[in-house]
Structure 1
Amino acid sequence: MAISDLKLPEGVIAHTFTSPAVLADELAAAVAVQLTEAIQQQGTATLVVSGGRSPVAFFHSLIKQPVDWSRVVVSLADERWVPVEHADSNAGLLKKHLLQGPAAKARFVGLYNVAANLEEAAQQADRQLAELPPIDVLILGMGDDGHTASLFPDSPNLASALDLNNQRRCWPMLAPTVPHQRLSMSRSLLSSAKHTVLSIQGPAKLNTLNTALAGDDVAALPIRAFLQPTLEIYWCP
């Protein structure tokens, strides 16, 4: 299957690249342009990214782009509820691979905090995200199970987190893999982004995306919530 075989909603644009390295470079160049345009128009720009290992090459390429990072706010679509020093921390990943060199001048708004429990941590993150400027660029990933950010199928709070009428910004979520406890931006906050990119690699992700496009049960495959006009999909085999 090729991405050209997918029946994409009107307005959704798909790009195919020959390798992960090319995808990372092209995505970084496009994001840099969008951030610079936002800075020119409003003085600042806000970038929200996803964690995990897949975006590392994109981060490395992005910090080489000509962006005025002193005017950029960076945040995370989701976070594992582990300390920043933990190997699974998305914040730790950003500090190591993105917030370096010129990009160290960016202001980082993280989701993790020390709290009595996951719900309290999510409430604190929700209050912190109230100070986040409007999202200019959002980079999403997707799991083979159709989750994006930490909006996992069958997670207890999924219905509330997917409710566009619920203005809560951050929800406690449970993943099927370790570490189970997560913090995730809500659908309503993520959907407010001016530019959204779904970056995926490999045939398995393409098959999941094809399945998502063939149905409308958002709870079964949460990525469906974001298959809307203005979405751009970046894919490589």
Structure 2
Amino acid sequence: MNAPDPTQCRWHVYADKAALQDAAVSAILDSAALSIRERDRFNLVLAGGETPREIYQRLRSAPTDWSLWHIYFSDERCVPPTEAELNSHMAGEAWLDHVPIPRTQIHIIPSGPRADKAAEEYAQTLRGVDPFDLTLLGLGKDGHTASLFPGNEWGVAPDSPDTLAVFNSPVRPPQRVTLSVARLNRSRQIIFLVSGESKRRAVARWRAGEHIPARAIMGENGVDVLVESSLLS
């Protein structure tokens, strides 16, 4: 990837999904190695949804010291904890249940029953964790990222709370917990993973400079967007 620039959104274009996944796995492991070498721990924020599933699966065999990984989540749906649609369930099934990261270092967002209570609890979990080493994010077809949706509060101000309760998500379930823009931006590195035809219009809007939630994300070293070439044609 290009050298970090705090003012830039850097677009990295890949021929297909497999090439994008290769780059994502390499970037995650490079970030882990650097963070462990410099700070003796790796604070990683995971994206939800289906785009990163195969990336997570490939991390199972990574040559790394799992005892130094600390896992956080960018957002979560407020549904019963047995629901398969939980981001934490997907990450566990694909990856986290198969590697020896200490369970106390996998910081799952409470899934309910009330978004405001869950947000308050996760804010306490994040207290003293600053900044993240790497944050992974996705892109929704409406331009949302994490559970920061158009028309809702994004928590952009520097003094915004770390977590936000969402009660009116335009896609089910309506209640969610999300990290705020301000908290996500306190990351040494931010990588968006963008794959799938449904993201084409959101990518075009982002590159045209429209005010979509994803565009509000800009970490201290800028942002890297990994995208399939077919979405730019």
TM-score (norm 1): 0.85
Aligned-pair CA distance for 1:202: 3.4
Amino acid at match of 1:214: A
Q: Find out whether 1:222 has 2:213 as its counterpart.
A: yes
For residue 34 of structure 1, the aligned residue among 14, 31, 46 is 31
Where do 1:35-184 residues align within 5 Å?
35-105=32-102, 107-114=105-112, 117-155=114-152, 158=153, 161-173=154-166, 174-184=168-178
Compared CA separation, residues 92 and 84, structure 1 to 2 (3 A):
farther
Question: Whole-Å Cα distance in 1 between the matches of residues 100 and 190 of structure 2?
Answer: 21
Unmatched segments (≥5 aa) in structure 2: 1-5
What's the CA shift string for 1:89-115, capped at 9, x where partnerless? 111111111203335446211111555
For residue 226 of structure 2, the aligned residue among 209, 216, 234 is 234
How large is the Cα RMSD of the aligned pairs? 2.1
- The alignment of Structure 1 onto Structure 2 pairs a total of residues equal to 221
Could you say what secondary structure the match of 1:35 adopts? helix
Question: Whole-Å Cα distance in 2 between the matches of residues 42 and 183 of structure 1?
Answer: 29
Percent identity over the alignment is 25
Q: Does the 8 Å CA contact 1:113/1:125 hold for their aligned counterparts?
A: no
Unmatched segments (≥5 aa) in structure 1: 1-8
Compared CA separation, residues 84 and 91, structure 1 to 2 (3 A):
farther
Q: Which residue of the partner structure matches residue 181 of structure 2?
A: 187
Moved more, 48-57 or 95-104: 95-104
What's the CA shift string for 1:59-92, capped at 9, x where partnerless? 0122222221110101110000123321111111
Question: Whole-Å Cα distance in 2 between the matches of residues 10 and 121 of structure 1?
Answer: 33
Could you say what secondary structure the match of 1:92 adopts? helix
Aligned-pair CA distance for 1:38: 0.3
Compared CA separation, residues 110 and 53, structure 1 to 2 (3 A):
same
Q: Does the 8 Å CA contact 1:63/1:100 hold for their aligned counterparts?
A: no
Q: Does the 8 Å CA contact 1:29/1:62 hold for their aligned counterparts?
A: no
What's the CA shift string for 1:163-202, capped at 9, x where partnerless? 3223411111131111111100011110011011111013
Aligned-pair CA distance for 1:134: 2.5
Where do 1:2-41 residues align within 5 Å?
11-41=8-38
What's the CA shift string for 1:123-158, capped at 9, x where partnerless? 112112215353000111011111000001123xx1
Could you say what secondary structure the match of 2:139 adopts? coil
Amino acid at match of 1:234: L
Amino acid at match of 2:162: R
Could you say what secondary structure the match of 2:25 adopts? helix
Compared CA separation, residues 12 and 111, structure 1 to 2 (3 A):
same
Amino acid at match of 2:195: Q
